[in-house]
Chains A and B, each alone.
Chain A
């Protein structure tokens, strides 16, 4: 901490709005403060500063609020502020009750005590009502008891704490607190403040809860400058001082600002197309200077509510580079257009001038192609190499002993049987089944028989098809027979004692079976394939699971990769459901999905005796079977001349420099591409990326989905740093780190991740005219270090914690292929304090719950033993119930009288009629709705043995021997030269 910056408030001077140094502990100015207002606020500040020393009690607020707040300053005797040395709310509130000199304590100690005392801290809070001043909902003071003294280890840090509830709307950076005298006793209280609202002092809260607020400012930046920087989106955050960097709701991507307003509105949605930089550097040297990775992330087949579809005979494309016409092209005149990727001037065909919507003629800019950057064409016959294929599905069941014992087969067969009619497809849809143990079991379903006929092939080394047809049959024609087979299958292998599994041979058979049409193979695998072609050995040594160097991230054999390439050539994708109870070498098996455009679903240790396992499998499988699917797809990525795409991430096979072969495309697949700048771009204004996905829909139509993203070019380094998209950067870095850990080693990948954070922050430091002593990050990159440490602690990259190799590899596969929003949630789960939330009145506006509970940092510091917290980690959710929670909470939510009566293993919320229960369930349902796959909910009691499942996700704390967030920041700071 820079002590010089900590000017005492009464020393602060103010000349013409320029040289006022608020000091870290003092006021925070986030808003644009006009000069006169500043002067006013300084007056009030100097009033206040006088009182600091005298009474230790005062209130500060910034900018506007102060103006109207002179009246309430007279109340300051009543209002006590936290002794928390440094940290303040993001905007307005300033908490000082000690002389400021004291607050220059090194921050390190404070933080460490807090973080390392995670548990004690939780339990420190007295649950008794009498300690705490309670406010009713209207915010009036009911009782102003004495200020609490804490009697624990952290006493020195926070003696008194008081929150001020500022009325008004909540802005996105602030936190809201409400105490209510509802059935639930006081819980965490927070500071609710608004930046632009008037301060309203009638609702102070008193608690002894530790709460850090934000300092979003730079110590030595003048008020006006800070204000203007904020308008321009160029403000910065000192990460070492600002604890609450997480925004109130979700992190929104930076807006792309093209030079024309019109184009801004038509640009591709950030949910589909993201670029790590929303302004592209004009030369490679500038990109190197910014030290940011350049790349795009795309979710091309996302389920969209509405998409404009066009059917026309001629699809207008550039003659030279084959770019589809898009909103960012330039019309030279009404007959010609200039391609925005290669700059060739093309002729417009006559029919393009006709607008089908308004039936008018003459203006090409009214065409849907020009009005939206996400569009779907129904392709004419020249886009087909062969007639569109029917939907063909083949299921391979593992029926080895382990698999039969787990009992998955009857569940899966039931679900398939139920969902069979909802499988995407038309009247031509075909379906087939294979079962595999040490032999391969084919099921022939002839036209005129009443029973499916089983054919067993014992020789797995040389695969041939036992009969030419009826192994894959038409779904509509043989539905009865298929259902019959599915009901018989589980019984057929009930007494099977065969421990072997010849998956490789089964896949070869499946390839032979499907190669005339192409389609989708779904493999249900529970054990290691150990005989026949592609046999694998158990390589993992459980003793090295927590070691420094993780071997065997690479495949053991290229059998599955070569098979995947053969499948890809025949337009077959392989999806894997791995439900293993032992090591199954996912590193090798995943090759079959990775290169054939498939997907991987992983349900480790599956047991049909556990109800929640069945539930997950059922939800996942139902979604999997009924989701949209595109067959025989290719995806081509084009970009403006001067840019080159050099590395691709995701599940596909790269067929040429810009063409990805995707036998199947599903709505849950995301892709990443790294981009390099080959030529100088300074003579252009914009660059564009265009992704065109050509696929056959399940109804046999050939369609092209085109997404175009246009980005401005900048020659200014600070512009580029301030335009970076932190989530997208993390998405790309995660993919690059996976590649690195496979190609070299896990520790190299971890180092690369840390270096990425160091690089960005040091290039920002170089940019600043007066670098302070803190760790300053631009506002738009302030979450980068949190996300980096979250990545380092996620299962894919963590060290020192016992992690099964398959789990690790699975997360790596997910990082490579998940769309961005799910990827971020996987590495940095959302934590919500639901005990506050359930007492509020929730309204639903446009499908959005209002109010949305605030998100908390993933740190034990934010927990409260009197609270209940919901952690949403993408595919799993945890409801953590604190030990000292008010009995009414579990009575209202679970219908249970005592805390210990909450079962150890609980995976469902009882449906009670209480408003609390309803609210919580509504909230969880609203979270589930946004996910492609259903997430399981596990209720974890504070003293449960599953507690680590929750606490290991609190990634900002020190866990085992991994650094805490604050230590990590210190490390970064020491690395920045």
Chain B
């Protein structure tokens, strides 16, 4: 049992993943508030938009760690999400600032539902990967 580089990457991944789970929960709650008219769309977008790039960034960061340490399995599991993120950001509405959400189109029920579903799916994904990283950490510590 030795504290190796893969084990380190999994420890970092676990911490980052916990942060990502918080992001996802925040996302889901924010959209729920928007739907139930607790918040107006401009405030909503102002609060969510600054979080988009940090979320994508730290997700890519743990995958870079997996790449360096050669944890191919974990990397492959995350590649679809990275691709989705890149694609999503490329197709964002025209905006001068960073972020994804445009207050004029977010209230469109179709967009609203898509965003809400996206939040739930991501939350599930991060939760599952949290347990996978836990398993990965333990197994790399054992070997």
Known: A559-B96, A647-B109, A655-B40. 19 other contacts (CB 8 A): A558-B94, A558-B96, A562-B96, A644-B109, A646-B110, A647-B108, A647-B110, A648-B107, A648-B108, A654-B41, A654-B107, A655-B107, A656-B34, A656-B37, A656-B41, A656-B107, A657-B37, A657-B107, A659-B37
Contacts of B94 in A (CB 8 A): 554-558
* B104 engages A561 (CB within 8 Å): yes
Contacts of A556 in B (CB 8 A): 94
Interface residues of B in 20-67 (CB under 8 A from A): 34-35, 37, 40-42
Bound complex: CA A653 to CA B108 (Å): 11
Q: Mark A42-81, 1 if CB is under 8 A from B, else 0.
A: 0000000000000000000000000000000000000000
Answer whether residue B95 sits at the interface, using C-beta atoms and an 8 A cutoff. Answer: yes
* B104 engages A595 (CB within 8 Å): yes
Contacts of B109 in A (CB 8 A): 644-647, 657, 676
* A558 engages B40 (CB within 8 Å): no
The listed residue with most A CB atoms (<10 A of its CB), out of B34, B94, B108, is: B94
Answer whether residue A569 sits at the interface, using C-beta atoms and an 8 A cutoff. Answer: yes
Q: Mark A557-581, 1 if CB is under 8 A from B, else 0.
A: 1110110010001000000000000
Residue of A nearest to B96 (CB): A558
Bound complex: CA A648 to CA B108 (Å): 7
* B35 engages A657 (CB within 8 Å): yes
Cβ-neighbour of B103 out of A565, A645, A659, A676 (below 8 A): A565
Q: Mark B89-108, 1 if CB is under 8 A from A, else 0.
A: 00001111000001110011
| Closest beta carbon of chain A to B88's beta carbon, Å | 15
Can you list 26 A-B pairs, Cβ within 8 angstroms, ordered by A?
A: A555-B94, A557-B94, A558-B93, A558-B96, A562-B96, A569-B42, A644-B109, A645-B109, A646-B109, A647-B110, A648-B107, A648-B108, A653-B103, A654-B41, A654-B104, A654-B107, A654-B108, A655-B107, A656-B34, A656-B40, A656-B41, A656-B107, A657-B37, A657-B109, A657-B112, A676-B109
| Closest beta carbon of chain A to B54's beta carbon, Å | 21
Contacts of A595 in B (CB 8 A): 104
Bound complex: CA A653 to CA B103 (Å): 9
Given contacts A557-B94, A558-B95, A559-B96, contact A655 B41 (CB under 8 A): yes
Bound complex: CA A382 to CA B108 (Å): 29
Bound complex: CA A556 to CA B103 (Å): 17
Residue of B nearest to A568 (CB): B42
Bound complex: CA A45 to CA B112 (Å): 64
Contacts of A653 in B (CB 8 A): 103-104
Contacts of B42 in A (CB 8 A): 565, 569
| B contact residues, total (Cβ < 8 Å) | 18
| Closest beta carbon of chain A to B116's beta carbon, Å | 12
| Closest beta carbon of chain A to B94's beta carbon, Å | 5
| Closest beta carbon of chain A to B74's beta carbon, Å | 36
Q: Mark A635-657, 1 if CB is under 8 A from B, else 0.
A: 00000000011111000011111
Bound complex: CA A24 to CA B34 (Å): 59
The listed residue with most A CB atoms (<10 A of its CB), out of B40, B102, B104, B109, is: B104
Interface residues of A in 393-414 (CB under 8 A from B): none
Contacts of B104 in A (CB 8 A): 561, 565, 595, 653-654
Bound complex: CA A565 to CA B110 (Å): 21
Cβ-neighbour of B96 out of A554, A557, A569, A656 (below 8 A): A557
Cβ-neighbour of A646 out of B37, B93, B108 (below 8 A): B108
| Closest beta carbon of chain A to B19's beta carbon, Å | 29
Contacts of B41 in A (CB 8 A): 654-656
| Closest beta carbon of chain A to B111's beta carbon, Å | 9
| Closest beta carbon of chain B to A716's beta carbon, Å | 28
Residue of B nearest to A594 (CB): B104
Interface residues of B in 74-93 (CB under 8 A from A): 93
Residue of A nearest to B42 (CB): A565
Bound complex: CA A559 to CA B94 (Å): 10
Interface residues of A in 647-693 (CB under 8 A from B): 647-648, 653-657, 659, 676
Contacts of B34 in A (CB 8 A): 656
Residue of B nearest to A644 (CB): B109
Contacts of A554 in B (CB 8 A): 94
Interface residues of A in 304-343 (CB under 8 A from B): none
Residue of A nearest to B34 (CB): A656
The listed residue with most A CB atoms (<10 A of its CB), out of B37, B40, B107, B108, is: B107
Bound complex: CA A210 to CA B137 (Å): 87
Contacts of A562 in B (CB 8 A): 96
| Closest beta carbon of chain B to A784's beta carbon, Å | 25
| Closest beta carbon of chain B to A563's beta carbon, Å | 11
Contacts of B102 in A (CB 8 A): 558
Residue of B nearest to A660 (CB): B107
Residue of A nearest to B105 (CB): A654
Residue of B nearest to A554 (CB): B94
Contacts of B93 in A (CB 8 A): 558
Residue of B nearest to A653 (CB): B104
Contacts of A569 in B (CB 8 A): 42
Among all A-B residue pairs, the 5 with the closest Cβ atoms: A646-B109, A654-B107, A656-B37, A558-B95, A558-B94
Residue of B nearest to A647 (CB): B108
Bound complex: CA A595 to CA B106 (Å): 13
| Closest beta carbon of chain B to A738's beta carbon, Å | 14
Residue of B nearest to A559 (CB): B96
| Closest beta carbon of chain B to A529's beta carbon, Å | 16
| Closest beta carbon of chain A to B36's beta carbon, Å | 9
Bound complex: CA A845 to CA B54 (Å): 71
Bound complex: CA A595 to CA B95 (Å): 15
Contacts of A555 in B (CB 8 A): 94
Contacts of B103 in A (CB 8 A): 565, 653
The listed residue with most B CB atoms (<10 A of its CB), out of A554, A562, A569, is: A562
Bound complex: CA A645 to CA B109 (Å): 8
Contacts of B108 in A (CB 8 A): 646-648, 654
Bound complex: CA A478 to CA B93 (Å): 45
Contacts of A676 in B (CB 8 A): 109
Bound complex: CA A645 to CA B108 (Å): 9
Interface residues of A in 926-962 (CB under 8 A from B): none
Residue of A nearest to B109 (CB): A646
Bound complex: CA A644 to CA B112 (Å): 13
| Closest beta carbon of chain B to A484's beta carbon, Å | 41
Residue of B nearest to A562 (CB): B96
Bound complex: CA A556 to CA B94 (Å): 7
Bound complex: CA A654 to CA B93 (Å): 17
Bound complex: CA A659 to CA B41 (Å): 11
The listed residue with most A CB atoms (<10 A of its CB), out of B34, B103, B110, is: B103
Contacts of B107 in A (CB 8 A): 648, 654-657
Bound complex: CA A569 to CA B42 (Å): 10
